[in-house]
Every structure is written in structure tokens, then in C-alpha cells.
Amino acid sequence: MTTKLTAEQRVIKQHVWLMNEPKYCQYAGIFMLGNTTVTGKVPTACTDGVNTYYGNKFVNSLSDAHLRGLILHENLHKAFRHLVVWKGIYKQNPKIANMACDYVINLMIHDSDPEGREVGLPDGGCLDEKYRGMDAQTIFKLLQGDGNGEGNGGSGQDSQEPEGFDSHDWEAASELSEQEQEEFGKEVDQALRQGALLAGKLGGNTSREVLETLTPVVNWREALREFINSTSSGKDMSTWRRPNRRWIDSGVYLPSSVSENMGKLVVAIDTSGSIDNNVLSQFLSEVMAICRAVEPESLELLYWDTRVAQHETYSKDNYDAIMQSTKPKGGGGTDVEPVPKYIRDKRINPECVVVLTDGCLGASWGVWDCPTLWGITEKNITSPIGVSVYVG
């Protein structure tokens, strides 16, 4: 005899399914934030941006695929902090604000499983291709009739658009203090970084939208600008070595910037035992930021502890795949000396090296033959070699 699961048991079961699926495990940490409540007091589902609520009757009316889609929907509101980021449009029109946020995340859910066989959207969801690539504010204006679309004249009352299958508790979200919002934002950021690493290990992908939310700590374009100025005599971010490609077709020869002329770059990541997964995921988001900022011709990614434990090479056309394809190795003691020796022995010849570390290196910082920029997580540690920046 098969025992029928309660609504709460079904919600728990589908959370577990999503966390173990490569396509969705990037949100595993988000599922763990806040409280999840199944109750008879909620008609369908609701989130206040921190906690999620599911109506037990609504849960029991859904297939497993639609329940997974519902859970993912509520948690994407949390992941992108919709109820904090878009509180301005909520104050103008709560219903249209709800719809605008739903359109953004429902396209993501639909794209993850277009046929809806494993993860689908419950009936009544806001889903329309015409809003692809737009943020919630842009969609809000179109729904109001303030943009280039037809909209509904700003009232939201006569719209033929679906209103969505859930509700958003903007009032509860607004009760959070600025400090509480900031702290939760940090928890969300950390959960997404961890999820990106987990997705890579399980062979899944991290969505473009998630990667864009992982804000790097360091402005690498500015850091590298100052670094190049300080290490390259008589040079700055511009060079005549390669003409600026934007103007050369017009017969105008101007110097190119660092984003157009950076050659081979080495990034050496500390994976010794003192580096936990949180710090490692932060380092990888910094690597992505470096690649976006200066677009080196190629990236040599080294993982090291007391040796170079892993060496990966990436070209411009696959920088976006780093989070998914990289395989960090290490976990032993800490000795940076083998890193510059490895670079010499392999004749890598980079234009410069960026070392990401906690700075707990003991007495030796290595012997380097090329300009070296250190990204260090400890505030009070600086390298006696090269240039140091704080990665907090």
C-alpha cells in the first residue's frame, strides 16, 4: 500500500530533488536561507524575500514538475533579492511590480526545461518572450504603458496579462532594517558562489543571471591600470604596439587599451588547507571579473598549495565556462615558491601574474621574474614583492 505524502513532505521531497539536479543545484544554498512553511493560510505561494510560504491545498493540486517550478520560482525571487531591489516600483503599483518580477524569473525557469517535463510553471504564470532580456523595471514600464509597448495605461486593472500564481509580501520585506538587508544580501551572495562551485562539480551550468549577480570585491580594471603603471616604465593603459581595432578600418591609428592588448595572464589561486570553499568561490568570481575587465589573450589558471596541483588554460572564447569547467585541487600546506618556479620551468612567459591568497605564506613570498599583483583576503597583510590589493 502506497502512503500518500502530505503537502509538507512533497515540498521537502522536491527541494531535495532540485538540490541534487545539476541544472538547479546552483540554488541549493538559496533553498536553505530563511524558513519554508506549508500552511493553510496562503492561497497559493508567497515570499517576503527571505522566507517562503506554500498553501497546502495548492501544493496538493500540482504535479511534481509544477511543484518544482513553484519552489524554484519563489527561491529565484530570494536569489535576485527582488523585494529589496525593486521596492521602488512596488510603491508605485504592487500588482504590476509582482508581474514584472515574475516575467523575469519565469523565462529563466522555462529556459531550463522548455518542455516542462521535470520542471514546469503552474497555470497562470507570467511568461512572454517579448520581455526577454529585460529587467523588472523595464517590464514594469511596459506593463504600465510608459515604455514603447502598448501596456495598459498605467492602471494595471484592464490588462490582458496574467497576474501570476503567487504573491509577494512587500510589506514584510520593507520591515527589514538596512543592516538586516545588507547581511541577508551577503548570505545570498555567499550561497550563490557556493552553488556555482557545486554546479561545476556536478557537471551543471551556472546561469548568466547568477554570474552577473556575483559582484567582485575588486575593481580589477582599475587595479590592473595602477599595477601596469607602477611596473611598466613609461607605459600606461594605452599602447601603440597594437592599433585600436575600433578605428583602424577608418584609416585612423590610435593606441589600444589594456582590454585590447593584454597578452597571456597567469592567475594563481591558493588552495592550501586554510582556504575554505567560501574563499575559493570568491576567488573564482574574481577570476571571472579579471577576464571580463581586461580580456587577456589567454588565461593560465594555476591552483597551488605546496606545489602547483592543477594547471588549466582558457582562451577568450571560453572564459564564461570557467565556473563550470574548472577543477580546483590542493588542500595541503602553504608554499608559494613552487609557483614562480613552475612558471619558469613551463616557459609560460606571462605579461603578469595575479596571485589570490589569504597571505599566510610564512617567510617566503617566492622569487618572481614577471610583474606580480597579489589579491589578499587578510587586511593587514601585504606582500614585500609586487603590488598588493585587499580582497575582502
Question: Cα–Cα distance between 392 and 279 in angstroms, integer?
Answer: 10
Can you tell me the mean pLDDT for 295-309? 93
| Predicted pLDDT at 11 | 97
Cell of 380: 593587514
Amino acid identity, position 24: Y
Is the pLDDT at 5 greater than 70? The verdict is yes
Question: Cα–Cα distance between 109 and 117 in angstroms, integer?
Answer: 12
Is the pLDDT at 205 greater than 70? The verdict is no
Between 369 and 216, the more confident residue is 369
- Cα end-to-end span (Å), the chain: 56
Domain regions of the chain by residue span: 7-183, 220-390
**Which segment, 82-86, 190-194, 219-223, is predicted with the most confidence on average?**
82-86
Q: What is the mean pLDDT of the chain?
A: 82
| Predicted pLDDT at 257 | 44
Rounded (10°) CA dihedral 151, 153, 158, 160:
0
Can you tell me the mean pLDDT for 188-192? 84
Confidence of residue 141 (pLDDT cuts 50, 70, 90): very high
Amino acid identity, position 389: V
Confidence of residue 204 (pLDDT cuts 50, 70, 90): low
b/e per residue 295-321 (b: at least 16 CB within 10 A): bbebbbbbbbbebbbbbeebeeeebbe
Strand-pair category, 167-168 with 45-47: parallel
**Nearest partner of 296 among 260, 347, 348, judged by Cα:** 260
| Predicted pLDDT at 93 | 93
Class of domain 220-390: alpha beta
pTM of the model: 0.60
Q: Cell 514538475, residue? A: 65
Confidence of residue 219 (pLDDT cuts 50, 70, 90): low
| Predicted pLDDT at 147 | 45
Lowest mean pLDDT among 30-44, 85-99, 156-170, 321-335: 156-170
| Predicted pLDDT at 301 | 96
Between 255 and 163, the more confident residue is 163
Rounded (10°) CA dihedral 376, 377, 378, 382:
10
> Sign of the C-alpha dihedral, residues 363, 368, 371, 375?
negative
Is the pLDDT at 361 greater than 50? The verdict is yes
Between 157 and 67, the more confident residue is 67
Between the alpha carbon of residue 43 and those of residues 14, 40, 64, 156, the distances in Å are: 20, 7, 18, 22
* Whether 84 contacts 193, CB under 8 Å: no
* Whether 300 contacts 269, CB under 8 Å: no
* Whether 156 contacts 145, CB under 8 Å: no
Cell of 10: 512533497
Question: Cα–Cα distance between 330 and 305 in angstroms, integer?
Answer: 6
Instruction: Give the pLDDT confidence of 51-74 residue by residue, as tens digits.
Output: 999 999 999 999 999 999 999 999
Can you tell me the mean pLDDT for 188-203? 75
Between 293 and 216, the more confident residue is 293
Question: Cα–Cα distance between 114 and 117 in angstroms, integer?
Answer: 8
Cell of 50: 527571505
Confidence of residue 87 (pLDDT cuts 50, 70, 90): confident
- Of the chain, the percentage scoring pLDDT greater than 70 comes to 80
- Of the chain, the percentage scoring pLDDT greater than 90 comes to 45
| Predicted pLDDT at 209 | 64
b/e per residue 207-237 (b: at least 16 CB within 10 A): beebbebbebebebbebbbebbeebeeeeeb
Strand-pair category, 372-376 with 239-243: unpaired
Can you tell me the mean pLDDT for 286-303? 87
Is the pLDDT at 246 greater than 50? The verdict is no
Is the pLDDT at 278 greater than 70? The verdict is yes
Is the pLDDT at 330 greater than 50? The verdict is yes
Confidence of residue 210 (pLDDT cuts 50, 70, 90): low
| Predicted pLDDT at 358 | 92
Strand partners, 255: 243
Q: Cell 514603447, residue? A: 148
Strand partners, 310: 303
| Predicted pLDDT at 34 | 94
Burial label, 51 (beta-carbon count in 10 A; 0-12, 13-18, 19+)? middle
Q: What does the H/E/C string look like for 160-205?
A: CCCCCCCEECHHHHHCCCHHHHHHHHHHHHHHHHHHHHHHHHCCCC
DSSP state of 122: P
Q: Cell 554546479, residue? A: 199
Lowest mean pLDDT among 3-7, 218-222, 357-361: 218-222
Question: Cα–Cα distance between 10 and 56 in angstroms, integer?
Answer: 10
